[in-house]
């Protein structure tokens, strides 16, 4: 792809907007269509586009596979942390109403629900992003074996 100047420049121009759109989908997911899964796939698509245009070797330099694995596991850990934090604060697993407030002075339960949904959706984004990039690396790194 070294001689494909238009693809290379177009990818450099479009990648920040793809990532920004993924963040928009993530944080707009509370109020409309979208959320963590869609944002994670869009975020991963920017890295896949980069790998397709600039090569798998350059993509691995930008984000090593170990980082993708850590993202996949770290997002699940964040998801579980939000659930266990609500249990620690006296509610059920993923009962967001118990997340917000300081002991002795509790806030409106809807504040906890908003923070909880953002935490859960962020965990889903990180997990989906990490798994999609790891799957791409696994398939793109395979070599063709001729019989």
Structure tokens at 9: 């420049």
What pLDDT shows up at residue 1?
Answer: 57
In which band, very low, low, confident or very high, does the pLDDT at 19 lie, cut at 50, 70 and 90? very high
Q: What does the chain come to in residues?
A: 147
The C-alpha atoms of residue 22 and residue 2 are separated, in whole angstroms, by 28
CB neighbour list of residue 117: distance below 8 Å, 6 or more residues apart: 30, 96
What pLDDT shows up at residue 38?
Answer: 93
Contact between 72 and 87 under an 8 Å Cβ cutoff? The reply is no
Terminal alpha carbon distance of the chain: 28
CB neighbour list of residue 115: distance below 8 Å, 6 or more residues apart: 96, 99, 100
The sign of the CA dihedral 51, 57, 59, 60 is: positive
For residues 73 and 1, which has the higher predicted lDDT (pLDDT)?
Answer: 73
Q: Fill in the DSSP letter of residue 108.
A: -
The C-alpha atoms of residue 106 and residue 99 are separated, in whole angstroms, by 10
pLDDT (tens digit per residue) in 110-125: 777 778 888 889 999 9
Give domain limits for the chain. 5-140
CB count, 10 Å around CB of 143? Answer: 5
């Amino acid at each position: 792809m070294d001689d494909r100047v238009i693809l290379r420049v177009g990818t450099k121009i479009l990648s920040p907007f793809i990532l920004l759109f993924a963040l928009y989908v993530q944080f707009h997911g509370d109020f409309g269509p979208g959320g963590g899964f869609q944002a994670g796939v869009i975020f991963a698509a920017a890295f896949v586009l980069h790998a397709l245009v600039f090569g798998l070797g350059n993509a691995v330099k930008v984000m090593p596979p170990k980082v993708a694995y850590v993202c996949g596991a770290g997002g699940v850990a964040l998801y579980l942390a939000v659930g266990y934090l609500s249990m620690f604060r006296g509610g059920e697993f993923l009962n967001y109403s118990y997340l917000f407030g300081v002991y002795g002075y509790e806030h409106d339960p809807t504040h906890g629900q908003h923070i909880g949904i953002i935490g859960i959706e962020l965990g889903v984004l990180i997990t989906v992003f990490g798994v999609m990039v790891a799957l791409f690396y696994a398939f793109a790194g395979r070599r063709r074996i001729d019989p």
